[in-house]
Amino acid sequence: AQRVTQPEKLLSVFKGAPVELKCNYSYSGSPELFWYVQYSRQRLQLLLRHISRESIKGFTADLNKGETSFHLKKPFAQEEDSAMYYCALSDTGNQFYFGTGTSLTVIP
């Protein structure tokens, strides 16, 4: 069975501090992994995809197959980063599995 785990429901960091949102997955094949973000009163939106190896809004995420992790990182947190973050996994059947989300608060 596929599963995505986000161990932290809540995470608070100070502005300018590094932030890491953890995501671990269990999947027997080669997963497609994503991070989605939901800002206050806005719709859920795609932040980044592991396949693109991109950096969006200063965030990066590296797929570590050995540790089955896809942690989201940013070296210097900004207040506008405060939001709900969801890690998601897609299997070869195009079915998405979302983690339960981590609420990030950046303290000014």
Partner 1 sequence: KAGVTQTPRYLIKTRGQQVTLSCSPISGHRSVSWYQQTPGQGLQFLFEYFSETQRNKGNFPGRFSGRQFSNSRSEMNVSTLELGDSALYLCASSLRQDSNYGYTFGSGTRLTVV
Chain residues that interact with partner 1, rule: CB under 8 A = 32, 34, 36, 43-46, 49, 51, 86, 90, 93-101
Task: Name the strand (E) or helix (H) holding 102.
Answer: strand 102-107
Closer residue to partner 1 in complex, CB, 13/31: 31
In whole angstroms, how far apart are CA 73 and each of 23, 61, 91? 11, 6, 23
Q: How far is the CB of 33 from partner 1 (least distance, A)?
A: 10
Nearer of residues 13 and 34 to partner 1, judged by Cβ: 34
Quick one: 56 or 73, whose CB is closer to partner 1? 56
Q: How far is the CB of 63 from partner 1 (least distance, A)?
A: 13
The Cα 17–Cα 5 span in angstroms is 24
Q: In the bound complex, what is the minimum distance in angstroms from residue 88's beta carbon to partner 1?
A: 8
- Label the pairing between strands 32-38 and 45-49: antiparallel
Q: Are 46 and 36 a contacting pair, CB within 8 Å? A: yes
